[in-house]
Amino acid sequence: MTTPPFDQMPDNPYLLLTPGPLSTSKGVKRVMLRDWCTWDDDYNAIVETIRARLLTIANAPEGYTSVLMQGSGTFSVESVITTAVAPGDRLLVLANGAYGLRIAEIARRIGIDFTVLDSGELAQPGLNELAATLADDPAITHVAVVHCETTTGMLNPIEEIGAVVKEHGRIYIVDAMSSFGGVPIDMATLGADFLISSANKCIQGVPGFGFVIARRAILASLAGTARSLSLDLHAQWQTMEEHHGKWRFTSPTHTVRAFAQALAEFEEEGGVAARHQRYRENHRILIEGMERLGFVCLLNPSVRSPIITAFYNPPHPDYDFRRFYEALKTRGYVIYPGKVSEHSTFRIGTIGHVFPRDIEALVEAVEQSREP
Ligand SMILES: *Cc1c(COP(=O)(O)O)cnc(C)c1O
């Protein structure tokens, strides 16, 4: 079997309108055609450049460092929890969706002492409740929250939450998986001690690793606390620092090279500000078009993110999500099923190598695909 030359390869049969993996550019895919040696200087220099650029994108001041970790985003979340929340510590999880609850589940599996403040899927975490919980429970050492809760698309107020956490002198962990690079995040004012994201979200790389931006002094104090060998964030960081970009175990070389290309394209586009603007435009066109067709958004406009939007499944007895999904897929668009437990929804992502004209075409495809 022969393979056509790269430039004659067919485009994807459909656009991914999902929160990761998402549609990537041809440039990102093209750079994966080369093999890299995991401990060679050529490769490690790419890793070091990525680590430095991540700090710049986050506007991280002096005193922050970054670490890359193999696996999907959850592996990086788990590496932070198992490394940062040491035996004897207590974690408070602010949950309003599946990803917040996943952090609690990670803690439970490790045997970490934790408690959950669950505001429900349709509400942001309450700042007064958080302050009262921290005041009442001095044993709590760490607070974790999700920035964009991908379950619903809700954007949580991480700055305001951070101010309360810092006022009470606790360590602050933010899962910014689906927002980093697509929504401005300013580490200099946020005060987060650990911020987590991954290669295949708003930077628009391919899946295979996540990354953590961490306060260096705290990370440096965590030698030996991880209750996992492969997810030991401190050990990974130490190896990357001492060996200038070396990973402890086989690194996802092609994914890393693709990520470097994705970062270059990100900067070419104009960085976070430009990407945020494009995603917001995608989101605006989506909402306008879908509402015109009679679809109803799950969330109030004030808490929506430009990342992903949840819509109620139409209550019509003849509507079937699976059929709607397949009809859209045939027309070139893959959307996402719902994840909200209390309401029947589906979701459409507006991140990735996806542009306003794509969303306009999607709305037309929705009009043709819906029934009756
Ligand atoms: C995507 C995502 C994750 C990680 O999910 P993986 O499937 O492990 O990549 C974690 N948190 C949030 C908020 C996410 O959107």
Q: Is the CB of 76 under 6 A from ligand 1?
A: no
Q: Is the CB of 175 under 6 A from ligand 1?
A: yes
Does residue 5 register a pLDDT over 80?
no
Give the pLDDT mean for 227-235.
Answer: 98
Q: Is the CB of 98 under 6 A from ligand 1?
A: no
State pTM to two decimals: 0.97
Q: pLDDT tens, 96-135?
A: 999 999 999 999 999 999 999 999 999 999 999 999 999 9
List of residues 6+ apart from 247 with CB closer than 8 A: 38, 47, 68, 70, 236, 239, 240
Cis peptide before 21 (omega within 30 of 0): yes
- Among 16, 148, 175, say which to mutate for ligand 1: greatest number of ligand atoms within 8 Å of CB: 175
Neighbours of 357 (CB within 10 A): 10
Q: pLDDT tens, 68-91?
A: 999 999 999 999 999 999 999 999
The pLDDT assigned to 167 comes to 98
Of 89, 54, 50, the C-alpha closest to 226 is 89
Q: pLDDT tens, 334-357?
A: 999 988 788 999 999 999 999 999
Q: pLDDT tens, 244-295?
A: 999 999 999 999 999 999 999 999 999 999 999 999 999 999 999 999 999 9
Give the pLDDT mean for 142-153.
Answer: 97
Nearest CA, atom 6, ligand 1: 73
Per the listing, tokens 């193999």 go with 70
Distances (CA, A) of 243 to 37, 44, 83, 239, 258: 14, 8, 21, 6, 22
Q: Is the CB of 313 under 6 A from ligand 1?
A: no
Q: Is the CB of 297 under 6 A from ligand 1?
A: no
Q: Distance between CA atoms of 118 and 125, rounded to whole angstroms?
A: 7
- Classify strands 333-334 and 171-175 as parallel, antiparallel or unpaired: unpaired
Reading the block at residue 118, the tokens are 């669950």
The pLDDT assigned to 62 comes to 96
List of residues 6+ apart from 131 with CB closer than 8 A: 164, 167, 168
Could you give the 3-state DSSP secondary structure of residue 149? strand
Nearest CA, atom 9, ligand 1: 73
- Among 16, 69, 77, 177, say which to mutate for ligand 1: greatest number of ligand atoms within 8 Å of CB: 177
Q: What are phi and psi of 157, to 5 degrees?
A: -80, 80
pLDDT bin (cut points 50, 70, 90) of residue 2 is: low
Mean of per-residue pLDDT scores for the chain: 96
